[in-house]
A = this chain, B = another copy of it.
């Protein structure tokens, strides 16, 4: 099944925004992600509603961080992109008549709920700034200037 990359993409964008001076336009960002501006706007809209980024129209406009990365967790970003379905595994029928199928659903639902809870708990523990720090460590280890952009290379 094709997966949902919105969380992954938005984290990437936030980190690049952090190491950027002024605002980034949707076009800048789209170039970075290898996609197009309209999609960027669509997805960033959720982050704007959550106050994690701000947008300005017109000359010199674009997207900027709405707060420091240390004040955003992965869970915040996950929620901001619409809290998409976590699992590809699912139930054949949510409310079956069949008692047998109800037993199956109960067991699967419990197990999936538990795994989802663990995942979201972990997401809530990780600040976006932690990823930046990991990135800085990587760059240092490789002796690479941390400001690189793959799209510009």
**Chain B residue contacts of A100, Cβ below 8 A:** 12, 15-16, 135
How many protomers of this protein does the assembly include? 2
Residue of A9, A101, A119 contacting most chain B CB atoms (<10 Å): A101
**A72 within 8 Å of B (CB atoms):** no
Q: How far is the CA of A100 from the CA of B132 in the complex (A)?
A: 7
Question: What is the minimal beta-carbon distance from A84 to any residue of chain B, in angstroms?
Answer: 7
Q: How far is the CA of A143 from the CA of B135 in the complex (A)?
A: 60
Contact A86 B85, CB 8 Å, known A131-B104, A134-B107, A150-B98: no
Is there an interface contact between A122 and B126, defined as CB atoms closer than 8 Å? Answer: no
**A146 within 8 Å of B (CB atoms):** yes
